[in-house]
Structure 1
Amino acid sequence: MEELFRLWTAAAGNGPLEWVAVVTGFACVWLAARESLWNFPVAIVSCALYVVVYSGATLYSDAFLQVLFIGLAGLGWYQWLYGGRNRSELPVTRTPAREWAGCAAFVAAYTLGVGYYLQHHTDAALPHWDAFTTAGSLAGQFLLIRKRLENWLVWMVVDIIYVPILWYKQLYPTSALYVLYLGLAVYGYLEWRRALRQHAIRSVPLST
């Protein structure tokens, strides 16, 4: 009976707030994989909830990340609508080398700098891993906003690392959510690659 109670407590997570954050988080990633603009308003709700959840788990870098995501969601909403040629809808494209280099430099600098600060000036759990997943998430979100196909590859790496971190912090529903996120990242990559190919076919001028 005691073991059953322990499993129930683990599944319940940190209460209804975490579960609502989990459901809305799953919904926003699924909508993004489907190229739906609705992913952005749903993401704003989910991120606002996770500010509270992560702060309570002393994952401060991830809590701060959610605040940034709220602002980035608004920017992404605009970019997807008007970021294409002549203010048209933004199509799926591949990531140029300069953006890969910029993302890599940012992730390295953020991980070292913020990780050091969290380690020496806060009670943060797993400070450098926390900083790395935050930096990787920001890089992934930047590429998502630009509708770069490879954003899903970045999310795959981040999701794999998040699963054990969140489990360690006893955020069991959220840890399970990141397992689902990993599957959605694979799905999103395949869907966006198909969209990229279709766009390339439509862009080829018809011979006369």
Structure 2
Amino acid sequence: MNWLDVVGASLSLISTYHFTKSYHSAWVIGMFAIVLNTILYWQKGVYGHVLLEAIYFIIMIIGLMKWQRNNNTSVYQLSTKQMLIASGIVFSLFLSYAYFLIAYTPSTIPYWDASTTVLCLFAQAMMIYRIIQCWMIWFIVDAMIVILQWQQGMPFHSIVTFIYLGLAILGFLRWKKDLVHPVADKLSFSIFSSKNNSVSS
């Protein structure tokens, strides 16, 4: 068994658990996991996830800085309209990235690789702003990644990712306790904004 598989997956698991409790340490632990996971994915030829991990590292830095500046643990949610807009953006990114993987890399699973990559980035970005729907997306993408990792010969990662399914449920339930009601005018996202440029339930 590859030690990168074991240590990287273990650190990722610890980081995710800390996210469910909104601990700032989740970002730091995640950074260490990213370094190991990047090496592993490169060795396995899962190039979409190599790029994903690189972007993750940048997101981790941004997330840590934002959470440190703002100790508010309030949780928010996107409105239905905002989720539809976000879904359109995600689908467009999926098509673009899948084309890139097919045309310019030897990726053996471009569509699967592209879909999990884009969904992971979207979920992680929402986590920075404590948007509760991130856990729903994590549940979906983790189920997909379990299969991907098992097929690519990363059994320990696959088993740990299966545990993530439970953590996604746990995270949703814990964050739901801190959900802001009403959430209108509490948080703004220009990219997802409706007419009044606010997040609402």
Q: Say yes or no: TM over 0.5.
A: yes
Residue type at the aligned position of 1:117 = F
User: Distance between the aligned counterparts of 2:16 and 2:81, measured in 1?
Assistant: 26
* CA displacement at 1:90 relative to structure 2: 4.8
User: Distance between the aligned counterparts of 2:115 and 2:5, measured in 1?
Assistant: 22
Q: Sequence identity of aligned pairs in percent?
A: 21
State which of 105, 119, 139 in structure 1 corresponds to 2:102. 119
Conserved 8 A contact 2:11-2:32: yes
* CA displacement at 1:89 relative to structure 2: 2.5
Whose helix fraction is larger, Structure 1's or Structure 2's?
Answer: 1
Q: Show the counterpart of 2:51.
A: 64
Query: Is 1:37 matched with 2:24?
Result: yes
TM-score, structure 1 as length reference: 0.82
Conserved 8 A contact 2:15-2:27: yes
Change (3 A) 1:159 1:167: same
Q: Show the counterpart of 1:146.
A: 129
Q: For 1:91-146, what per-residue CA distance to the aligned partner results, in whole angstroms no more than 9, with x for missing partners? A: 21112345423431232122211112212322102101100000000110011011
Query: Is 1:194 matched with 2:160?
Result: no
Q: Which runs of 5+ in 2 are unaligned?
A: 183-201
Q: Which runs of 4+ in 1 moved over 4 A?
A: none
Greater relative contact order (CA < 8 Å, ≥ 6 in sequence): 2
Residue type at the aligned position of 1:186 = I
Q: For 1:185-206, what per-residue CA distance to the aligned partner results, in whole angstroms no more than 9, with x for missing partners? A: 010001101222xx659xxxxx
Secondary structure of residue in 2 paired with 1:195: coil
User: Distance between the aligned counterparts of 1:73 and 1:46, measured in 2?
Assistant: 11
Conserved 8 A contact 1:82-1:90: no
Query: Is 1:18 matched with 2:18?
Result: no
TM-score, structure 2 as length reference: 0.85
* CA displacement at 1:44 relative to structure 2: 0.5
User: Distance between the aligned counterparts of 2:142 and 2:117, measured in 1?
Assistant: 11
Query: Is 1:165 matched with 2:152?
Result: no
User: Distance between the aligned counterparts of 2:85 and 2:41, measured in 1?
Assistant: 27
* CA RMSD in angstroms, aligned pairs only: 1.7
Query: Is 1:109 matched with 2:96?
Result: no
Residue type at the aligned position of 1:149 = I
Secondary structure of residue in 2 paired with 1:148: coil
